[in-house]
Structure 1
């Protein structure tokens, strides 16, 4: 797989996850669907006896029904990642990468786990669909505390739009 930590290629996103739970998880088993580290909190909470229905404002899902085999669906139909102005979205087995300096890339991971066959030019409707989902997700994110407040971005754009002559 291509990629490294801190990028959105599969080599940067896919991390091996090993779990041992005698009597619940069968030794040597393999789970085929992607999960998120955000799923660990609700899973551990439910395993400890907590009622997951009473927990508000968490992004993960409890993996307990998937671990026990009560639910064979994907825990997440869609997963998104963002770092600065780069982002990725995985919807089922489709994955779109958005970059600030080049066109988006599109991969069908069940046929191309190493992301070698960019399908963006062959599937523009899928690119548009995934970009729309990604753009709908991004405004729901909390702004990192170390970045400027969003209000300053609008002010910066107004200054940029009213700029008329270069400074000597």
Structure 2
């Protein structure tokens, strides 16, 4: 079993103990720096990170392979990667970049295929002068999303 397989198995065991947590990213550098990024349906606490870190660290032998370990939660500015992340952020405002445009809109729904966004915009009236508020809704498949970030709005 390779070092990465060992770490992956330990990580899966650790996440089984807390099903609301899920893996966003796992990387192991050539110098054996293990970086684990977690997210959770109800957020990620410091204790969650400590528990997962201990699960991995206590079951690896530093005599066999020296390593460093970092377990962190996906930060607010971290782009969304998984369908599960989109689903937990329904109702929030996202900044979504596609190949042709950037849209800042409310996430209305998330399915296995894509997301539904809604937003309002001031646009010129079709007849007469002035502007009117127009409601927009748009489905975007995940394959077209280059980056999606949750926007935190402070009032």
Structure having the larger proportion of residues in helix: 1
Structure having the larger proportion of residues in strand: 2
Whether TM-score is above 0.5 comes out as no
Tell me: higher relative CO, structure 1 or 2? Use CA pairs within 8 A at least 6 residues apart. 2
What is the TM-score with the length of structure 1 in the denominator?
Answer: 0.27
What is the TM-score with the length of structure 2 in the denominator?
Answer: 0.29
